[in-house]
Amino acid sequence: MAIIEQTDLTPAPPSPPEPGHDHGGHGGPGPSAALTNPKLAMWLFLASDCLFFGAFISAYLLYRGREQDGPTPRELFDIPFTSATSFILLMSSLGMVLALAAIQRGDHRRFRLWIMATALFGATFVAGQIFEFTEFSRKGLSLDTNLFGSSFFVLTGFHGAHVCMGILWLLSLWGMSTQGRLGPEKAESVEIAGLYWHFVDVVWIVIFTVIYLMPQPGT
């Protein structure tokens, strides 16, 4: 989805528009925009996505402590471990910032370094999540065990899917850079990928707080 967002807007015509021959459809002479089309679109998408996670989080909160049988969160959570992977995800946002700064300077080597680091941090987080999921299921928690299983796996699973999409996106930016297709005029597409990536990060902070840090019911 996000890639689609980003490509339509390539504001760069091969040659600067001649006076009077304005560029059809794109960046027409409108009221000067505070946000370019693609960036505005990304913000809107993220606003919508907020509600998507918001609804899942509400469901999780509603069902907290309602598990009838099967393991409970308290028996399963390994807070230090999850904190560590969460920290790695947070650090990836730093990588994203550095990558963006690099591409804006036109420094492709640094850009590739940092974008790859960001993707790898993200992948580490996903790996941690997969490990956690297998661990939980080994201890007897799956989607159909109890309401905790259902709401936990679906919420964190959808977040994981968002991270995976982000990783793919970062990798394709990396690929474009290696092929020299990521000129300076495309720095904005990196910025947009960054918006998405930071958003996914921030959402995780909320999810992590809600699921792991809030005192479990009954404690």
Partner 1 sequence: MTTVEKAPPVSQREVGLLRRPRATTGFASWLTTVDHKKIGILYVCTALVFFVLGGVEALLIRLQLFGPNGTVLTAGQYNQMFTMHGTTMVFLVGMPIAIGLGNYFVPLQIGARDVAFPRINMFGYWVVLLGGIFMYSSFFLGGAPDGGWFGYTPLTSAPLDSGFLPGRGPDFWTMGLILLGVGSTTSAINFIVTCINMRCPGMSLLRMPVFTWMMLVIAFLTLFAIPPVTVALTMVFFDRNFGTLFFDPAAGGDPLLYQHLFWIFGHPEVYILILPGMGIVSETLPVFSRKPLFGYAIVVFSGIAIGFLGWGVWAHHMFVTGLGPVAISAFGLATMLIAIPTGVKIFNWLGTVWGGSVRLTTSMLFSLGFIAMFTIGGLSGVMHSVVPADTQQTDTYFVVAHFHYVLFGGLILALFAGFYYWYPKVFGRMLDERMGKLNFWTMFIGFNLTFAPMHFLGLWGQPRRTYRYDEGLGWETLNQLVTVGSFIIAFSVLVFIVNAVVSKSRGQVAGDDPWDGRTLEWSISSPPPEYNFAEVPEVHSRDDFWHRKYTEDDEGRLVPLPSGGAEAHAAAGHDGHGIHLPSPSYFPLVTALGLPILGYAAVFQNVWIALLGAVVLLYGIYAWAIEPAD
Summarize as ranges the residues that interact with partner 1 (CB under 8 A): 3-10, 13-14, 17-18, 20-31, 33, 35-37, 40-41, 44-45, 47-52, 54-56, 59, 62-63, 66-68, 142-144, 146-147, 149-151, 153-154, 172, 181
Give whichever of 22 and 78 is closer to partner 1, judged by the CB atom.
Answer: 22
CA angle 198, 123, 170 (to 5 degrees): 55
**Could you give the CA distance from residue 2 to residue 136 in angstroms, rounded to a whole number?**
32
Cβ count near 54 (within 10 Å)? 12
**Could you give the CA distance from residue 79 to residue 112 in angstroms, rounded to a whole number?**
33
For the bound state, the minimum distance from the C-beta of residue 85 to partner 1, rounded and expressed in Å, comes to: 24
Give whichever of 28 and 80 is closer to partner 1, judged by the CB atom.
Answer: 28
Amino acid at 60: Y
For the bound state, the minimum distance from the C-beta of residue 4 to partner 1, rounded and expressed in Å, comes to: 6
Q: Which of 195, 182, 201 is nearest to 7 (CA)?
A: 182
Give whichever of 29 and 80 is closer to partner 1, judged by the CB atom.
Answer: 29
Give whichever of 49 and 107 is closer to partner 1, judged by the CB atom.
Answer: 49
**Could you give the CA distance from residue 11 to residue 191 in angstroms, rounded to a whole number?**
14
For the bound state, the minimum distance from the C-beta of residue 122 to partner 1, rounded and expressed in Å, comes to: 19
For the bound state, the minimum distance from the C-beta of residue 168 to partner 1, rounded and expressed in Å, comes to: 9
58 is written with which tokens?
A: 């509400």
Contact call for residues 99 and 176 (beta carbons, < 8 A): no
For the bound state, the minimum distance from the C-beta of residue 24 to partner 1, rounded and expressed in Å, comes to: 4
Give whichever of 23 and 105 is closer to partner 1, judged by the CB atom.
Answer: 23
